[in-house]
Structure 1
Amino acid sequence: MALIRSSHEANDNSDCCQLPNGCRRPIDGPAARDGRRVIVTGERLLVPVSDSQTLRQTVAYAVRDAVEGEDRYDAIHFVYPATRRVTGAASAEPAQELLERVAVWADEDLGDDDELAVETALIGTDVYLFSPGDYVELFDEYTTEHGIDSVLLDPEFDPGGGTPLLPSLESELRRSGITVEVAPVERGTRRARLVRRTGLGQFVLLAGLSYGFYLLVGGSLSTFDLVTGAISAGIVATVLWRVSLTGPVQPGRLFARVGRMLLFTPYLLKEIVVANLDIAYVVLHPSLPIDPKMVEFDAAVWSELSVTTLANSITLTPGTLSVDVTRQHFTVHTLTEGAREDLLDGGLERAVRFVFYGRSAARAPGPRERGDDGGEES
C-alpha cells in the first residue's frame, strides 16, 4: 500500500511521513497486521527527474531499492528542477504532468505489503538554473530542508535538454557531501537518421556553395584554381549532399531568401553600431548606469535556422546575450534598460522573420505587442 503525496510547490511542508533522521516508528499496514513488525528508519531519498528514455526504469529501481535494498527508505522525493522561471500554471503544466506520471509509476511498482511515502515537487521556479553548481545548490537546499542524505540520479537526467549534465553534476554533489548513486538501468541506443532523401537540387546547391567558397578563399581565378575548385566541390558535394541539407531545394524561395538576407545584413550592422555607441556611453558615464536583468520571451520564429539566426543576432548586438534557447523560448541577459526595451519591441525578431518568411511575416507583432513583458528578473 503506497502513501502518495503530490506537492508541486517545493515550500509545501505539510506532514507526510516526515520523520527526523534516525527516528523509528512501526508502520500500521498489511505487513503489521500479518504479525510482522516493520520498522522504518526515517531515511529519505531524493530523485531528480526530467523527461528521458530511462526515467521509467529509474523510478522502478528507486522504489525497489527503497523497500528491498540494503538502505531502506521511508520516503522518496521525486523533484523536477525548473529549467526556466515559472510564471504561471500554464508554464508549469508539463512539469506537473511528468511528476504525476512518476507518482503513478511509483504506485504501480509498490507491492500490497509495501509502505512508502512518495512525494513530488517542482523546485527552482524562482531561480535561474544554468551550471551544474546551480543545480547542486538547489538540491542541497532541498535535502537540508527535508532531511535527505542520498540522491539517486537517472543516467540520462538532462533537465535542460542540451549539454549532458550528469558527469559534472554527480561530482559536484559528491563534493558537497551528499551520497550519490546513478541508477544502474539499461540505456537504449538512440540512432538518429543521418542519411536523408535528397535530389539533384541539393547536390547542385552544395557543389555551388563549395565551389564559391573555394574560389573566395583562394583569391584567384586562374585555370588551375578553377579546375581544382571544381574537383574539390564535386568531392564535397558527393560525400555530404545526403547529410548536410534538411530539405528539398526550391530555387525561387532560396534566391528570395538570399536577397532578403542581403537587405538584413546592413540592418544588423546598423543595430550593432548603435548598440556599441549606447554601451560606450554607459561605460564612460561616471555613474555607470547599467541595469542588468534576465528576460524570457517566446519568439515568433519556427525553424531551426531562423531561431539560430535570431539568437546569434541578439548575441552580436552589444548589451544583449542569448543565454539559453529551447525551441522558440529565449532567455536573454540584457545589460541596460534601453537594450531590454529594444529587444522586447521586436525589431530584430521582425527582421529575421522578414528574411525567412517574407514581408507579411515582418508585420506581425513583437514580444511586447503579444503581451510578453519578458518576465524580467535581476
Structure 2
Amino acid sequence: MGSERLLIPLSESPTVRQTVAYAVQSGLEGAPEALTCHLVVAVPYEAEVPEERETLEAANRLLDRAMTWVQEDATDVDADVSCETAVLGTDEYLFGPKDYAETFAAYADDHDLDRLVLDPEYHPGASAPLLQPLERELERVGLPFVEAPVERPAQHERLVGTASWSRFLSLFGVSFAFYLVLGDPTYWFDLVTGTAVGLIVALTLSHVTFTTAPTFPTSPLRVLRFSIYVPYLIVEIVKANLLISLVILRPSMPINPKMTRVKTRVRSGLPLLALANSITLTPGTLTVRANDQRLLVHTLIDDAREDLFDGGLERAIRFVFHGRGSASIASPRERGDTEVLEAGGEES
C-alpha cells in the first residue's frame, strides 16, 4: 500500500509514449493507494534566451502530451494517479550525462521520489541517445532507476545519396588537402599518394558523406584573403599555446574555467562555422555550441577569455568573407555582446 512516486524524464523519441505507459503500469503493480508521476523535460541553458523560446514551448507541449498519456493509462484504476511537471536546466548549463544525472538526482531528492524510469531512446537535445553514459552517471549519484523495456522501432533511413560530381570533387579536395597537411606538399611521392588516397576516398565515400550536394560560392579574392588568414590563425594558436604552457608551469596554476556566450557579427553558415572552429583550434577556448550568431565557448584561463572578447578572430573571419572594410567593427566587449555564464548569468 502507501504511495509510489516516479521521475520520468521526457524527450522527443520514438519510445517516449511507451515509456510513459510502462511507468504508469509498473507504478501500479504493487497496488499503491496513490501514484505520482513527475514528468520532467531537461533543456540547456540557452532555452532561456528570448530568441530560443521555441525550445521551452516544445518542452511544455511534450509535458502536456505526457500528462494526457498518463490519464489515458490510468483509466479504471483504483489508485489516485496524479502528475507533476517541470522543465529542468533553465537556470544552469547541462552539457553531458553527468550534468543530467546530477540534475535528476537533485530533483528526486527535493521531491522524495522512489526511482527514475528511463526511456531507452532518451536524447535531450543531443544527436544520439545518452543511455549508456547516463546510466553510469545515475549509478554514480545513487539514483535508483529502471530502463523501460519497450520495443525500439527499426530504423530505415536512407544511407546512400545520389551521385554527383560536386560531392565527388568536394570529398576528393578535402581528402587530398588533409593528406598534404600531414605530409610534404613539395615532395612528388606525397603528391602522387595523396592523389591516389583522395580518389579512393572520393570513389568509396562520396555517396554517404554529404546529405546535400555542396556548393562552391568561394571567389578567387576570398581564397586570397583566406591564405592571409591562415598565417594569422597559426600565430594566434602559437600565442595561445605559450599562454597555456606558462599557466601550467606556474606553481599556482591560475586556471579559471568559465562558460561564456558571445554574440558575433558574422552570418550563420560557413562564416560562423569557420569562426567556431578557429576558436576551438586556439588552445584555451572551446566552442561548445554555435547557434545562429551566438557562440557558447568554454574558456580555460582569463587571458583566453579576454582575447575572445577582444574579437580578433571575429574581425579576421569578417575580413575573409566580406573584405577589409567589414573587419573594422567594435569588439564584442565594446558592443556589449559578451556574457559569462555564472550563477544568475553575470555579464561582463
- Give the TM-score of the pair, scaled to structure 1: 0.70
The match for 1:105 is: 66
The match for 1:316 is: 281
Show structure 2 runs of 5+ residues with no match.
344-348
Q: Find the partner of 1:118 among 80, 83, 87.
A: 83
For 1:373 and 1:353, the matched residues in 2 are separated by 18
Over 3 Å counting, the alpha-carbon distance change for 1:194 and 1:348 in structure 2 is farther
Q: Find the partner of 2:289 among 311, 325, 332.
A: 325
The match for 1:79 is: 40
Over 3 Å counting, the alpha-carbon distance change for 1:289 and 1:358 in structure 2 is same
Shift of 1:326: 5.2
Over 3 Å counting, the alpha-carbon distance change for 1:371 and 1:302 in structure 2 is same
Q: Secondary structure at the match of 1:137?
A: helix
User: Aligned partner of 2:37: which letter?
Assistant: I
Instruction: Please say if residues 272 and 290 of structure 2, whose CA atoms lie closer than 8 Å, have aligned partners that are also in contact.
Output: no
Shift of 1:287: 7.0
Counterpart check, 1:61 vs 2:26: no
The match for 1:20 is: none
The match for 2:133 is: 168
Show structure 1 runs of 5+ residues with no match.
1-39
For 2:216 and 2:51, the matched residues in 1 are separated by 41
Instruction: Please say if residues 198 and 248 of structure 1, whose CA atoms lie closer than 8 Å, have aligned partners that are also in contact.
Output: no
Over 3 Å counting, the alpha-carbon distance change for 1:214 and 1:311 in structure 2 is closer
The match for 2:206 is: 241
For 2:14 and 2:82, the matched residues in 1 are separated by 25
Q: Secondary structure at the match of 1:118?
A: strand
Which is worse superposed, 147-156 or 247-256? 247-256
The match for 2:188 is: 221
Instruction: Please say if residues 161 and 211 of structure 2, whose CA atoms lie closer than 8 Å, have aligned partners that are also in contact.
Output: yes
User: Aligned partner of 2:337: which letter?
Assistant: D
Over 3 Å counting, the alpha-carbon distance change for 1:204 and 1:170 in structure 2 is closer
Over 3 Å counting, the alpha-carbon distance change for 1:306 and 1:153 in structure 2 is farther
Shift of 1:46: 0.2
Shift of 1:84: 2.8
Instruction: Please say if residues 86 and 126 of structure 1, whose CA atoms lie closer than 8 Å, have aligned partners that are also in contact.
Output: no
Instruction: Please say if residues 85 and 127 of structure 1, whose CA atoms lie closer than 8 Å, have aligned partners that are also in contact.
Output: no
The match for 1:47 is: 8
Shift of 1:247: 4.9
For 2:14 and 2:290, the matched residues in 1 are separated by 19
User: Aligned partner of 2:6: which letter?
Assistant: L
Q: Secondary structure at the match of 1:294?
A: strand
Shift of 1:234: 4.1
Over 3 Å counting, the alpha-carbon distance change for 1:265 and 1:88 in structure 2 is closer
Q: Secondary structure at the match of 2:338?
A: coil
For 1:336 and 1:209, the matched residues in 2 are separated by 33
Q: Secondary structure at the match of 2:231?
A: helix
Structure richer in helix, relative to its length: 2
Instruction: Please say if residues 64 and 109 of structure 1, whose CA atoms lie closer than 8 Å, have aligned partners that are also in contact.
Output: no
Count of matched residue positions in the alignment of Structure 1 and Structure 2: 334
User: Aligned partner of 1:76: which letter?
Assistant: C
Shift of 1:327: 4.1
Residues 279-318 of structure 1 aligned to structure 2 (within 5 Å): 279=244, 291-299=256-264, 300-303=266-269, 306-318=271-283
Instruction: Please say if residues 48 and 153 of structure 1, whose CA atoms lie closer than 8 Å, have aligned partners that are also in contact.
Output: yes
Over 3 Å counting, the alpha-carbon distance change for 1:317 and 1:229 in structure 2 is closer
- Give the TM-score of the pair, scaled to structure 2: 0.75
Residues 1-378 of structure 1 aligned to structure 2 (within 5 Å): 41-66=2-27, 68-70=28-30, 72=32, 74-84=35-45, 87=48, 91=52, 94-111=55-72, 113=76, 115-162=80-127, 164-207=129-172, 217=183, 220-221=187-188, 226=192, 233-245=198-210, 247-248=212-213, 253=218, 255-279=220-244, 291-299=256-264, 300-303=266-269, 306-322=271-287, 324-325=288-289, 327-328=291-292, 329-355=294-320, 367-368=332-333, 371-377=336-342
For 1:335 and 1:106, the matched residues in 2 are separated by 42
Over 3 Å counting, the alpha-carbon distance change for 1:360 and 1:41 in structure 2 is farther
For 1:97 and 1:212, the matched residues in 2 are separated by 42
The match for 2:346 is: none
Which is worse superposed, 74-83 or 150-159? 74-83
Q: Deviations 1:113-151 (Å, cap 9, x if unpaired)?
A: 554221111223343333433322222221111110110
Over 3 Å counting, the alpha-carbon distance change for 1:184 and 1:307 in structure 2 is farther
For 2:200 and 2:102, the matched residues in 1 are separated by 51
RMSD: 3.9
Q: Secondary structure at the match of 1:138?
A: helix
Shift of 1:161: 0.7
